[in-house]
Amino acid sequence: MTVSIRALGLSAFLMGAAGAVSAAECIAPANPGGGWDFTCRQIGKILHEIGAVDNPVQVTNMAGGGGGLAYSHVVNERNDDADLIVAASSATATRLAQNAYAGMTADQVRFVGAIGIDPGVIAVAADSPFMSLKDLVDAAVADPGSVAFAGGSATGGFDHLKPLMILREGGLTDITKVKYIGVDGGADAITQTIGGFTQAMTGDISEIVGFLKSGEVRALAVLTEERVPGFEDIPTAKEQGYDVVAGNWRGLYVPKGISDERFQEWADKLGQVAASDQWMEAMVANGLAPFTMVGNDFQGYIDGLIAEINQMSKDIGVIQ
């Protein structure tokens, strides 16, 4: 596959071509401290620092339903709020693809962009006989039951779907035969793999950094467009012949009812954040890799991603 906030009683106004916003809100669909909260607070802070908005962005935490409460709030109550942005990630797309938001669909909002990613990775124990991603894929295609993957998400979650995307690229037609063990987080998935209970671990690169440094695991592939800065020795799946880009991207969606012009303004502002020194520092500090895709390009990426996840989820029986 080839990647809050209520206006404070004021309406937004434009200042020249930059389209500066007078007041803005960012909804983080979770409690303080998590990834969505990080997205709102960092992007909101930088938007103000670089002058893309006139006033500090108000952050509203709205936890519930794995993001579903905030999604319903935006669709039903804030559909035309031009000053509203909402934190999103790969989990948002996965849950929408699996109909986890009580019948709500992805086309009820607009995905404005992503500007960083915790890259997906496939890793094996240091003593694994699989020396390349091709070795692993060939073994799984020849005998799907011989290769089990451990990941930190439940069955049907994004960690489960990452190796399925790769194996489909490798020619496996029946992905239901692939063994997957969902455990409580990436560290447990690595432990399963190091202990020989599974043949590979599927997760994000931030989860394996310590294990890479200690020499306990080897990363066979990172699921990004290009090699990750600081981890240049890990080849991408793409360069090994498997056209898969997958990771926990950090981005935003906006209400569907806003104008095309306003949608593009938010896309441009997010692009400005991505290009800022402040965001570069935030990515380094939080283990993110560059992944900038905004506007209609990102919306198209999300449409394709959701369609693929939806079909794979049906194929493995997660949804009907």
- Domain boundaries defined on the chain: 16-117+248-315, 119-240
Q: What is the pLDDT of residue 220?
A: 98
Cα 118 from Cα 79, distance rounded (Å): 30
Q: What is the 3-state secondary structure of 169-215?
A: HCCCCCHHHCEEEECCCHHHHHHHHHCCCCCEEEEEHHHCHHHHHHC
Answer yes or no: same fold for 16-117+248-315 and 119-240. yes
Q: C-alpha 224: how far from its chain's center?
A: 11
Q: What is the pLDDT of residue 229?
A: 83
Residue 3 banded pLDDT, cuts 50, 70, 90? very low
Residue type, 228: V
Residue 154 banded pLDDT, cuts 50, 70, 90? confident
233 in Cβ contact with 220 (< 8 Å): no
The 10 Å Cβ neighbour count of residue 233 is: 9
Q: What is the pLDDT of residue 33?
A: 84
- Three-class SS of residue 247? strand
Closest C-alpha among 253, 251, 245 to residue 274: 251
Q: What is the pLDDT of residue 206?
A: 83
Strands 25-28 and 58-61: parallel
101 in Cβ contact with 71 (< 8 Å): yes
Q: Across the chain, how many H-helices and E-strands are there?
A: 10, 10
- In sequence order, the 6+-apart residues with CB closer than 8 A to the CB of 231 are 205, 212, 219, 222
181 in Cβ contact with 150 (< 8 Å): yes
The 10 Å Cβ neighbour count of residue 73 is: 18
Q: Is the pLDDT confidence value at 152 over 90?
A: no
- In sequence order, the 6+-apart residues with CB closer than 8 A to the CB of 265 are 14, 19
pLDDT in tens, 250-273: 999 999 999 999 999 999 999 999
279 in Cβ contact with 46 (< 8 Å): yes
Please, what is the average pLDDT of the chain? 90
Give 99: exposed, middle or buried? Use CB within 10 Å, 0-12, 13-18, 19+.
Answer: middle
Q: Is the pLDDT confidence value at 1 over 70?
A: no
Level-2 CATH architecture, domain 119-240? 3-Layer(aba) Sandwich (3.40)
Q: Is the pLDDT confidence value at 239 over 90?
A: yes
Q: What is the pLDDT of residue 5?
A: 30
Cα 138 from Cα 275, distance rounded (Å): 40
Distances (CA, A) of 115 to 91, 231, 268, 293: 16, 19, 12, 7
Level-2 CATH architecture, domain 16-117+248-315? 3-Layer(aba) Sandwich (3.40)
Closest C-alpha among 219, 262, 220 to residue 242: 220
Residue type, 113: G
Q: Is the pLDDT confidence value at 21 over 90?
A: no
Mean pLDDT for 140-157 is 92
Q: Is the pLDDT confidence value at 238 over 50?
A: yes
Q: Which residues pair with 113 in a beta bridge?
A: 252, 294
